[in-house]
Amino acid sequence: MGNRKPERNEVINLLTDKRAELLSTWHENIRSIRENLHLGYLPHGNALPISLEELDDFLTAYLEDLHKGQSHQSEEYLLDLVERKIAAGWSLTFLELINSTFVNAVRVMVRGTFPDSFDSRAQYMEWISELVSRNDLRLAHKYETLLGKLTKELMERQRELEGHNAMMQQFFDVASHEFQAPLWSILGHASKLISHYSPHIGEKGMHGLARIQDNVREMHLLIQGFARLLSVTSFSSQVSEFSLQHVMRSALNRIRREMEKEVEVQLPAGLPRMVGNRQQIEHLFYELLRNAILFADEARENIVEVAFEDSEGPREACRIWVKDRGIGIPQEYAELVWKPLERLNDVQVEGLGLGLAYVKRVVEVHGGQVRIVPEYSPGTCVEVVLPKSRPHEHVHIH
Amino acid sequence: MLGGIAKNGLDRILLVEDNEDHIEHTVDALEEGGIINSITVVRDGLSAIQYLKHEGPYSADDVAPRPGLILLDVKLPKRDGFDVLATIKSDPDLKTIPVIMLTTTGNEEDIARGAMLGANDYIVKPVQFDEFIHKVKGLGKYWALISDLAR
């Protein structure tokens, strides 16, 4: 821990740096909370009362004030601010961030003592107790209690959401079997009527039976799709290291076995290895490639192309594009397609509207991003960014 | 080919299934597949274990002849399919009988769990009913042969 009084500019620079750091941490926090919100059937409450943009505005305004030399460089001011925001129902995570980062920084100006960094919560607590020993009891105590309260509330919310998710998943595991069993009974009877009794049933009757089969199959796929979607709960389950090349190829092989449509699929060589849930990632590419093949237009070039860019860095990620030259997705639907059961009327492609919701869910759980590349033409280009290593736990105190 | 399986020594199939429609469909599929062996149906996991171990209602001689193949549903009353499977595969007298798991959902975890417990194969009750007949036919013949070789 350094103990010098820094220059005013240093502090402003420090805070400016912190701004970017905060934004990215906040982005991660939003993601982790969303992860627990699942499909959106859980109580939202005020889990996310502030967006990334709002946070940015707040930080920018704060920094501007500092530049202008305005008077809220006191601990009192920030602590009051934080308390006011709690009362207004602001996100606890957000407040914890302000608390841990900005209050520390402001202390530098006021007091001239500021640890270079905190490596751990333990070190942070040590710093607090040092304040206490300097008879700064009141502030230290206030700060500590506040942080404790925030953390506790956040943990409670997390637990509540996790409990909800587990219950929902358990219910669906049981329910999906109970839903499927009668469907199979119906299908069996319909099939037997068709194969053994067609002369008695007549053409109209046979048509009815065929429609029964189609509808039962659709129901079956819906239940299967939901069971699959709900099974993606968290990153922690069944994680291993595997080759994206292998995963992509076996996804494609599965599609080849199931579909008759002749489409040329160009897979690149040299896709990297990654750490994640292999089964989920394979099904993710199964859905994306299958969609691309369905979209591929025979009237145009009947080609699906996969490309990638592998980057090295502190948080290594692989960027993969799945491109088709079909009719494309209108820009106004680019966000909508990721929602479960959202079937777009004027996009004529078969499907139940659960495939892309699954893709998004898996990508999010793995700490990545997925989007429809805007202005791509002709056709559709889906971009998937997947971290190659396991997303790490954050320590909110810097 | 008809009747060939029975001659091979696979004279009995034990079907463990609780859903009456599914019993009917499976038995029909076996018949359509040309598997004309006698089929015994038990409707819960406990009965399956009692049948195989000659316990309870099956303790008298000749009431429960040893099957050459077991078709075992995953979801069963009293003791579930995995429980029955584990019991069979940990019993030195029973573990050589091939067991084919039947699953409604095709849930990958269920299939993996079955394989780990020693299931010899599985059939997903599929959306295409003809496919089921086809599979039952193929698997029945294959396992009948294996079972015969194991004797």
C-alpha distance from A287 to closest chain B C-alpha (Å): 17
Chain B residues in contact with A280 (beta carbon < 8 A): none
* pLDDT, position B69: 87
Which among A184, A185, A191 has CB closest to B130? A191
Q: What is the mean pLDDT of residues A320-343?
A: 82
Chain A closest CA to B100's CA: distance in Å?
18
Average the pLDDT over B17-35 and give the result: 85
Q: Which residue of A has its CA nearest to B103?
A: A177
Task: Please compute the mean of the pLDDT values over residues B38-64 and round it to a whole number.
Answer: 89
pLDDT at residue number B90:
93
Backbone angles phi, psi at A104, to 5 degrees: -55, -45
Indicate which CATH number applies to the domain containing B46. 3.40.50.2300
Task: Give the helix/strand (H/E) hosting B108.
Answer: helix B108-116
CB proximity under 8 Å: B 53-72 to A: none
- B79 — contact with chain A (CB < 8 Å)? no
Instruction: Calculate mean pLDDT across residues A45-74.
Output: 49
Q: Is B131 on the interface with A (CB under 8 A)?
A: no
Structural domain contains residue B119: yes
CB < 8 Å to A196, chain B: none
Task: Provide the pLDDT for residue A111.
Answer: 42
Quick check: A71 pLDDT over 50? no
With respect to residue B137, please indicate whether it lies within any of the assigned structural domains: yes
Q: Give the best residue of A170, A176, A177, A194 to mutate against chain B (max B CB count within 10 A).
A: A177
CB contact under 8 A, A187 and B105: no
Q: Which residues of A touch B25 (CB under 8 A)?
A: 184-185, 188-189, 192
A296 pLDDT above the threshold of 70: yes
User: Which of the residue ranges A10-19, A67-76, A140-149, B52-61 would you say has the lowest mean pLDDT?
Assistant: A67-76
Contact criterion met (CB < 8 Å) for A180 and B107: no
Residues of chain A in contact with residue B130, where contact means CB-CB under 8 angstroms, are 191, 195
Contact yes or no for B105 and A224 at CB 8 A: yes
A382-396 pLDDT tens trace:
999 988 876 543 333
Q: Which of B28, B105, B127 sits opposite A187 (nearest CB)?
A: B127
User: What would the pLDDT profile of A342-373 be if each residue is shown by its tens digit?
Assistant: 765 555 555 667 888 899 989 988 888 899 88
Q: Is the confidence at residue B83, as pLDDT, over 90?
A: yes
User: What is the arithmetic mean of pLDDT over A8-23?
Assistant: 61
Nearest CA distance, B59 vs chain A (angstrom):
32
Task: Name the closest residue on chain B to residue A196, using Cα atoms.
Answer: B32
Q: Flag whether B151 is in a domain.
A: no
- One-letter amino acid identity for A154? L
Least Cα distance to A44 among A59, A30, A58 occurs for: A30
Averaging pLDDT over each range in A88-92, A230-234, B98-102, which range is the top one? B98-102
Q: What percent of chain A has pLDDT over 70?
A: 53
- What's the rounded mean pLDDT across residues B84-110? 87
Average pLDDT for chain A: 69
Domain with B42 in it: 12-142
3-state DSSP percent of chain B in helix, strand and coil, to 5: 45, 15, 40
Of A188, A220, A279, which is closest to B21 when you measure between CB atoms?
A: A188
Contacts with A224 from chain B: Cβ below 8 Å: 105-106
Predicted local confidence at residue B87, as pLDDT:
94
Q: How far is A182 from chain B (nearest CA, A)?
A: 8
Q: Is the pLDDT of residue A398 over 70?
A: no
Which of A173, A180, A187 has the CB atom closest to B129's CB atom?
A187
Residue B36: inside a domain:
yes
Q: Is the pTM of this model over 0.80?
A: no
The one-letter amino acid code at A97 reads: L
- Per-residue pLDDT band for A227 (boundaries 50, 70, 90) equals confident
Rg of chain A over CA atoms, in angstroms?
27
Establish if B21 touches chain A: CB-CB under 8 angstroms. Answer: yes
CB pair distance less than 8 Å for B105 and A177: yes
In this complex, is the C-beta atom of B105 within 8 Å of any C-beta atom belonging to chain A?
A: yes
pLDDT(A139) > 80: no
Q: Which amino acid is at A296?
A: A
Please say if the pLDDT value at position A12 is more than 70: no
| Closest by Cα among A293, A294, A252, A290 to A271 | A252
Which pLDDT score, from 0 to 100, does residue A126 have?
Answer: 62
Contacts of B11 (CB under 8 A, 6+ apart): B37, B38, B65, B68
Shortest CB distance from B75 goes to which of A177, A191, A220? A177
- Give the Cα separation of A270 and A280 in Å (integer): 21
How confident is residue B43, by pLDDT bands cut at 50, 70 and 90?
very high
Query: Inter-chain contact A181–B107, Cβ cutoff 8 Å?
Result: no
Is the distance from CB of A248 to CB of A321 less than 8 angstroms? no
Helix pair angle (B45-53, B81-89), 10° resolution: 20
Residue B130 near chain A (CB below 8 Å): yes
Q: Is residue B2 part of a domain?
A: no
Number of domains in chain B: 1
Position B7 scores a pLDDT of 41
Higher pLDDT: B102 or A328? It is: B102
For residue A284, the model assigns a pLDDT of 93
Q: Which residue of A has its CA nearest to B75?
A: A177
- What is each CA distance from A130 to A101, A120, A144, in whole angstroms? 18, 16, 12
Between A381 and A102, the more confident residue is A381
Q: Which residue do the tokens 């199964």 mark? A: A286
Q: Give contacts of B82 with chain A, Cβ < 8 Å.
A: none
Please give the pLDDT value at position A278.
87
Residue B124, in any domain of the structure: yes
Residue of A nearest to B27 (CA): A188
How far does chain A reach from its first CA to its final CA, in angstroms?
13
Residue B7 within a domain = no
Categorize the per-residue pLDDT at A256 as very low, low, confident or very high, splitting at 50, 70 and 90. Answer: confident
Residue B4 within a domain: no
Distance (Å, rounded) from C-alpha A26 to C-alpha A396?
10
- What is the band of A73 on the pLDDT scale with cuts at 50, 70, 90? very low
ipTM of this model? 0.73
DSSP string, A349-389: ----S-HHHHHHHHHHHTT-EEEEPTT--SSEEEEEEEESS
Per-residue pLDDT at B44: 92
Hey, what amino acid is at A149? K
